[in-house]
Structure 1
Amino acid sequence: MNGRFLTGTILVLLGVGFLLQQAHVWDFSDILSNCWPLILVIVGIAQLFNRNSTSLFSGFIFIVAGILFFINNLIDINLYLYFWPLILIIAGVSFFFSRGTHRAKPISDDATNSFSIFGGQNIQVTSSDYEGGQVTAIFGGAEIDLRDAVISEQGAVLELNAVFGGVKIYVPENAKVQVSGLPIFGGCENKTRKRAITDAPLLKINYAAVFGGVEIRD
């Protein structure tokens, strides 16, 4: 599932809920205080649709965390006292599944699909017909090097999602770059040089930065 679509859907539902509360249709604040863990479950289910093993692991973690917090709201157990110890345990376990970011992993695929949580990804793309993809970092980081890639003649679209994490992208010099995004207590820093290229293929970068950051370089 597209990360930007999921983020946008959640924001729209929250907006509609608070709008109906202002119209005195229901008490959305009370509903949200009890049901907000379901957001974690939804994010987890969305991750299960991705094909890589890291996404399956992170999806399982989100679902379990959402269910635990939902149970905490139903019965008299102060799970929040155990929240940070659980986070540390999850972070520790995730290191067994992450490969680290010290050495770039060369990939010749025409599409990039990367998900990291409490860890990192360092990918060097060498595709000769690059079409884009999706990169998500949650409480972690990702570095994607496209400088050796050739953008497809039809252009490429790259979706970046940074949630309490960071994503750094190196773009090729022989491509036009178009950046747009949604910063939520986060932001994007575009450090690419101005280009006078007119007939080069277009690389569209769409980002969502939620308490996170995106950096784009040449």
Structure 2
Amino acid sequence: MGNQKGKVWAGLFIVAIGGLLLLDNVGLDMPNWLFKWHTFLIAIGLFVGAKHNFRNSGWFIITLIGIIFTLNNAIPNLNATHVLLPIGLVALGLYLIFKPKDSYSHKAKWRKFAQEDPLTPFTEADDTTTSSTAQKKASNNDYLDSVNVFGGSHQIIYSKNFKGGEITAVFGGCDLNLTQADFEGEIIIDVTAIFGGAKIIIPPGWEVKSEVTAIFGGLDDKRSIQPVTDGKHKLVIIRGIVLFGGVDIRNY
């Protein structure tokens, strides 16, 4: 059902672009800014949002960037740097603060557990390559919610009943280590990487399925092929949007 829905939205997106180009070619007077890259960025953002039921922040960020540059071109004497950019940053910040917290049906169920068992800091060997802005945390929570804007985080999941979660990396990055985690069946990790990225380390034998929408970016599976040792099928589904960024999957 999800793949069929994605095909429908992709078809509508292509039809809309083709229709606009056709109207322009037959001589209909249309504004020049309508065919600029930032206008297509708005269309891509709305397409990605509709495809994922507007549940993550990636579509909002892409659409917001497109709107800022579109208004700067459509409205004469409007300085995007002085006016629209600060407004856009305020809007992005408010969205991250007040965005719906029930993107997944099981999140509310496990929120109480997360409050009773909060993140605890950990120390590790001297790491000269780690940015001073990075935060290192060990987590016993069953649900992941990692937001990295102009910074980074290194997280280890110890939960034996891991439920998946969300990673947001905007001009930042997230290193997620799942080698100590466990779960039954399948989980979903929703990744939004815009001018940023994520590295996910998983144990040998886990299956990974990518449903990521990549625009000038991608998901790179760098795992070595290793057989399943415990006979249990475990599936990690990676969804989301990657724009000018990347996601690396590793098992070391």
Matched, 1:203 2:204: no
Matched, 1:122 2:154: yes
For the 8 Å contact 1:135–1:159, the answer to whether it is kept is: yes
TM-aligned CA distance change 1:28 to 1:119, over 3 Å: farther
Normalising to structure 2: TM-score of the pair? 0.56
Where do residues 49-128 of structure 1 align in structure 2 (5 Å cutoff)? Answer: 66=67, 70=71, 73-79=74-80, 100-101=133-134, 103-128=135-160
Q: Residue type matched to 2:187 in 1?
A: A
For the 8 Å contact 1:146–1:169, the answer to whether it is kept is: yes
Normalising to structure 1: TM-score of the pair? 0.63
Identity %: 26
Instruction: Name the structure 2 match of 1:213.
Output: 246
The structural deviation recorded for 1:38 is 9.6
Q: Residue type matched to 1:200 in 2?
A: H
* Equivalent in 157, 172, 192 of residue 188 of structure 2: 157
Matched, 1:190 2:221: yes
Larger Rg: 2
* Equivalent in 23, 30, 34 of residue 31 of structure 1: 34
The count of aligned residue pairs is 186
- State the Cα RMSD in Å: 4.2
Q: Residue type matched to 1:117 in 2?
A: V
**Secondary structure class of the residue paired with 2:19:** helix
The structural deviation recorded for 1:149 is 0.8
* Equivalent in 160, 163, 166 of residue 131 of structure 1: 163
Structure 2 residues without counterparts, runs of 5 or longer = 94-131
* Equivalent in 193, 202, 206 of residue 171 of structure 1: 202
The structural deviation recorded for 1:69 is 6.5
TM-aligned CA distance change 1:124 to 1:12, over 3 Å: farther
For the 8 Å contact 2:72–2:80, the answer to whether it is kept is: no
**Secondary structure class of the residue paired with 2:14:** helix
For the 8 Å contact 1:18–1:28, the answer to whether it is kept is: no
TM-aligned CA distance change 1:212 to 1:71, over 3 Å: closer
Deviates more, 1:21-30 or 1:195-204: 21-30
Q: CA separation in 2, counterparts of 1:163 and 1:191?
A: 21
